[in-house]
Every structure is written in C-alpha cells, then in structure tokens.
Amino acid sequence: MNIIAICGSPRKGNTEFVLRRFLIKAEEFGHKTDLILLREKKIGHCNSCFSCNDEGSCNMRDDMAGIVERIMADDLIVFGSPNYFNNVTGLMKDFMDRLQPLRVEDKLAGKKAVVIMVGEEGDSKSSAAIATMTSAADILKMAKVGDLYLVAKKALDVENNPESVQKIDDFAKNILS
C-alpha cells in the first residue's frame, strides 16, 4: 500500500514526530511511504473562483498541483495537524480547501484516510478539531479508518513519553496490519 502523510504543523514538533513514527511503522509492515510538510510548500488560499468545478482543476499555480498528483497515487492519506483553538492549523485548512478539485469528480472516493491530532487538551476537547479533518475525508468520499489524538503541551512531549510512543505504535499496527 502507498501511504502519504500530510503534516499541517507550522514547525517541527510533536505532530511531525507522530506522523514520522506512524510512517516508520508502516514501512516495517512493507508499505511505501511519503511525508509532505505543508510549512515547506506554497499553497494559496482558495478564492472560490469555481474554476475547479468547470475545468476539473484549480487555476492557481503553486505547490498544490504537485501534492494532488502525489495524493492521487496513494492508497492511504494521513491528515495530521496540531490542535489550534480546537481546530486544524491554517496550513491544514488551506490544504483541505484546495482539495475541492478532487471532490468534483470523486477522485479520492474509496481511498483510506487516517486523522491524527496533537494538542494540549484531552480527547473530550478534541472533537471539533478531529471532526474538521474527518469532514474533509467524508466530503471527498474517503473511508476514514481511524483517528488518534495525543496530548502535548511542549515540543518533544510526545517523543519523550514512552506511553505516547507506544500508543502511536499500537495505532499504526491496528490500522496497517
């Protein structure tokens, strides 16, 4: 299976660690993986011009076209974001908005999706943040196969917590084996 993880964190930290750990486990199960760091990409804001509805593709010229091409070749897409004000980061939101051309012809229908969120609050405070990424997967007619929320207040909190690392490993095993 080809797996791509999309990291919506504006900095190197817990979310990127979780995604990298998930992908390492995926490789151990024999899957091909890739990671896209949205902070390293130029992705403009969707301006609702609806050219994607008419032409089937976005008329903006930035890094999104290359990301879409890569996503189309994958079987499982992992959406990962820190929890900002009980929602995804602006980077992740811009990315999800720009997936509209893939919605037009159901180009991601049937592909699997995983949602990963890292934030200061526990599970009860994460529902809206996870729902944002789950909603994107639903709109794209993807099959969400799991979600994971990890608590972290400072950089390296997840990496330095053996229970959190084990939770990632167990989650990956459940999704990928």
State pLDDT tens for residues 123-148: 655 678 899 999 999 999 999 999 99
Decide: 78 and 22 in contact? Cβ < 8 Å: yes
Residue-by-residue DSSP string for 78-89: EEEEE-BTTB--
Cβ(108)–Cβ(79) under 8 Å? Answer: no
Per residue in 40-96, pLDDT (tens digit) is 999 999 998 888 888 878 889 999 999 999 999 999 999 999 999 889 999 999 999
pTM for this entry:
0.94
Q: Are 91 and 20 in contact (CB under 8 A)?
A: no
Tens of pLDDT along 106-128? 999 999 999 999 998 766 556 78
As a whole number, the mean pLDDT across the chain is 93
Residues in Cβ contact with 164 at an 8 Å cutoff, skipping those fewer than 6 apart: 150, 151, 152, 157, 158
- Rounded CA gap, 75 and 79, in Å? 13
Strands 143-151 and 76-82: unpaired
Residue 107 has a CB neighbour count (10 Å cut-off) of 16
Domain 7-176 fold is: Rossmann fold (3.40.50)
Residue 158 has pLDDT above 90, yes or no: yes
pLDDT at residue 19, rounded to an integer: 98
- Cα separation, 83 vs 85, in Å, equals 6
